[in-house]
């Protein structure tokens, strides 16, 4: 896909996406392009600066992405700490009690050994690992 900045005879600027430069040429020649503001079909390409990806731009994008992921992880941790209970090493027992209706249904998290994980799976109890990045901060040491 190619994005062109376009301009009409009334100096309205907008962008258009085309599958190729030949696609743009064909649409322009047949009068299919029109300004979304004034509807004129007198449209041409506007002057565009090339989009050059520099090392600084790539680094800034990586930093922005890392910040966005950290913010998202913080929201998830906050949600977990507000809505789930840390049951620590009693996870397997609590999960069973909830599954079999012996305790009220609620969100829990904690630690579990590989054999306990396998036993829960064999019993049909849904339990999924919680990545460390999502464990609420105060609880990270308790789970290890």
Q: How confident is the model at residue 138 (pLDDT cuts 50, 70, 90)?
A: low
51-63: per-residue pLDDT in tens?
A: 666 788 888 888 9
- Contact assessment for residue 114 and residue 58, using Cβ atoms and an 8 Å cutoff: no
25-52: per-residue pLDDT in tens?
A: 999 898 899 999 998 989 999 887 666 6
- Neighbouring residues of 39: CB distance < 8 A, sequence distance ≥ 6: none
pLDDT of amino acid 144: 45
- Contact assessment for residue 117 and residue 111, using Cβ atoms and an 8 Å cutoff: no
Which whole number is the average pLDDT over 12-21?
92
E-state strands within the chain: 2-8, 13-18, 43-45, 84-88, 107-110
Which whole number is the average pLDDT over 115-124?
94
12 has pLDDT over 80: yes
Rounded CA-CA distance 120/124 in Å is 6
Which whole number is the average pLDDT over 121-140?
85
């Amino acid at each position: 896909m190619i994005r062109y900045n376009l301009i009409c005879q009334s100096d309205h600027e907008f962008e258009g996406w085309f599958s190729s430069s030949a696609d743009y040429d064909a649409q322009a020649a047949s009068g299919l392009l029109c300004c979304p503001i004034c509807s004129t079909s007198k449209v041409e390409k506007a002057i565009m600066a090339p989009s050059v990806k520099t090392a600084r731009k790539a680094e800034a994008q990586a930093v922005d992405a890392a910040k966005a992921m950290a913010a998202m992880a913080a929201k998830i941790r906050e949600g977990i700490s507000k809505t789930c209970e840390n049951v620590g090493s009693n996870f397997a027992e609590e999960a069973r009690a909830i599954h079999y209706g012996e305790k009220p249904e609620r969100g829990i998290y904690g630690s579990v050994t590989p054999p306990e994980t396998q036993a829960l799976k064999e019993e049909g109890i849904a339990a999924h690992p919680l990545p460390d990045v999502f464990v609420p901060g105060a609880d990270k040491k308790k789970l290890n």
